[in-house]
Amino acid sequence: MKQTVVKKITPYMFILPFFLIFCIFLVYPIFESFYLSFTAAEGSTSSWVGLDNFRQIFSDALFWKSMLNTVIILLVQVPVMLFLAFLLAVAVNNKNIKGRSIFRLAIFMPVLIDLVTYSIVFSIIFNDQYGVLNYILLMLHLPGIHWIQNPIWAKVTIIIAITWRWTGYNAIILLAGLQSIPDSIYEAADIDGVSGVKKFFLITMPMLKPIFLFCAIMSIIGTLQLFTEPFLLTNGGQPDNATETPVLFIYQYAFQSFHFGYASAAAYVLTAIVAILSYLQICVSKGGEI
């Protein structure tokens, strides 16, 4: 009798510490912020307002601008980054190349730097008078660019910065994907006399498709949560809110003016978008395990 009781409670003892923390610091806040999104909570006062917050958000020009900025950034950045990551992964995977481990190490290095440090470093690299980028343009007899002061170039600045930070990360994933394609498939193709280019399009690309989709969706979700770079690199979404992002919007309303209700509603709109993308992500990776 005692034996079976012990056996029954054993798994619960193992999961207990986690689920205590999980319920207090994750599940409860998820529900509370859902509740808050229907109130006009400001600091410690609150009153029920129904769907007013959501109505207001859907007509809030700044919120839409932050969404639009993010969409523009990710439409340019994600394809460019994945293309570069793929090129680098193929290059590092090439067995004829000497010093591959050094190249691999170098390409992965940007993953290690924290977002604050790289934002500070990039703010100097992008400096319009003394930055190295404008210096290179000067050497090429091209006019310098007001990277951070011009609304369009500020977006480009953010795009370049996140591409620098995340290309290596995606290259690691794609490289591992490349290496997981069994050699036997290529050998069979060799016997059939398939050319290198054809092998690439008929074997490599289809085999990598799920990993590509994974990288794409993860990058989109990551970009939707962009915060540190516009906070530090472009002075909190400047100029003219050209680099305002949804998370910056939430931060400003929640922790600079303490409109908890309104900010919670905005957070839930963002969550809904991320949830839909994550659901797509699961559907895509169903081929694997879960």
Please report, as residue ranges, which positions from 251 to 280 form the binding site for another protein (by CB under 8 A): 251, 254-255, 260, 263-264, 267-268, 270-271, 274-275, 278
Size of interface with another protein, in residues (CB under 8 A): 97
Site membership for another protein, residue 71 (CB under 8 A): no
- Residues numbered 113 to 132 that lie near another protein (CB under 8 A) are 113-125, 127, 129-132
- Cα–Cα distances in angstroms (integers) from residue 150 to residues 18, 39, 242, in the given order: 48, 38, 9
SS3 assignment, position 142: coil
Sketch the per residue contact string, 186 through 205, with another protein: x for CB under 8 A, - otherwise: -------x------------
Which residues, other chains included, contact 177 with Cβ-Cβ below 8 Å and sequence gap of 6+? 89, 207, 208, 211
Q: Which residues pair with 48 in a beta bridge?
A: 39
Which residues from 75-114 bind another protein, rule CB under 8 A?
84, 87-88, 91-92, 94, 96-97, 102-103, 105-114
Q: Which is nearer to another protein, 105 or 205 (CB)?
A: 105
Reduced to 3 states (helix: H, G, I; strand: E, B; else coil), residue 48 is strand
Q: Which stretch binds another protein (CB under 8 A): 70-78, 141-149, 200-208, 211-219?
A: 211-219
Q: Can residue 283 be called a binding residue for another protein (CB under 8 A)?
A: no
**Contact mark string toward another protein, 214..253, x via CB under 8 A:** xx--x--x--xx-xx--xx--xx----------x--xx--
Nearer to another protein, 155 or 224 (CB): 224
Helix 205-224 with 151-179: angle, nearest 10 deg? 140
Tell me which residue has tokens 């770079």.
229
User: What are the DSSP calls for 72-104, one per residue?
Assistant: HHHHHHHHHHHHHHHHHHHHHH-TT-TTHHHHH
Q: Is 67 in the site for another protein (CB under 8 A)?
A: no
Least distance (Å) from another protein to the CB of residue 93?
Answer: 10
Whether 92 contacts 100, CB under 8 Å: yes
The smaller minimum CB distance to another protein, of residues 23 and 51, is found at 23
Q: Does 11 bind another protein (CB under 8 A)?
A: yes
Residue 37: helix, strand or coil by DSSP?
coil
Over the window 129 to 168, marking each residue x when it contacts another protein by CB under 8 A and - when it does not, the resulting string is xxxx--x----------------------------x---x
Nearer to another protein, 56 or 278 (CB): 278
26 contacts another protein (rule: CB under 8 A): yes
Taking residue 30's Cβ as centre, other Cβ atoms within 10 Å add up to 10
Q: Identity (one letter) of the amino acid at 122?
A: F
Phi, psi of 225 (to 5 degrees): -105, 20
How many Å is the maximal CA-CA distance in the chain?
A: 86
- The minimum distance between CB 15 and another protein, in angstroms, equals 5
* Shortest Å distance, C-beta 158 to another protein: 15
Q: How far is CA 36 from CA 24, 29, 89, 216, 246, in A?
A: 17, 10, 45, 32, 18
